[in-house]
Structure 1
């Protein structure tokens, strides 16, 4: 979504029109939620990006790219990342609501949501 599209969408919303988010807007939100979840879990474990990357058999820039919401990772990538972050990955597909990703901490049963789900971490 470019700036003009965003501005048009915002104007419509201000006048009470219902403006459905574009797929690009939804994808960006998903990437941001995932990136924040990965960052939070990595920090919780006291890991640097380099440490997390080594655990996942990746390079540090790959972790950075995910945390900055600049990539759409594959399922295999997410599995390796979850293992490196000592978490269990669950993916839910809901008709009409999209994709929901969750990393479940293995040490305390904590679930941190990523994807379309609102960001939440509950012990």
Structure 2
């Protein structure tokens, strides 16, 4: 399960919603919520925004620095 999948499930459960109820709130089907929560589908940013609005939370995307591990030789 991906981080996104587990977060969607956790927030939905904390709000006391079933997959069907969340799906109705955002205008999609229960199967789509199931696929997201099981990590089989990666939701688009617009869909994540609709989910977040329905769950009264916000979407946060972070970029982190990746250290250069390549070895450089001097000539």
TM-score (norm: length of structure 1): 0.50
Alignment of 1:1-123 (within 5 A): 32-96=2-66
Aligned to 2:71: none
Counterparts of 1:96 and 1:50, CA distance in 2: 39
> Structure 1: which 5+ runs fail to align?
1-30, 98-123
Counterparts of 1:48 and 1:73, CA distance in 2: 18
Counterparts of 1:75 and 1:96, CA distance in 2: 23
Counterparts of 1:96 and 1:70, CA distance in 2: 27
Higher Cα radius of gyration = 2
Counterparts of 1:76 and 1:68, CA distance in 2: 19
Higher relative contact order (CA 8 A, sep 6+): 2
Number of equivalences:
67
Secondary structure of the 1:87 match is: coil
**RMSD over aligned Cα atoms:** 1.6
TM-score (norm: length of structure 2): 0.79
Bigger strand share: 1
> Structure 2: which 5+ runs fail to align?
68-75
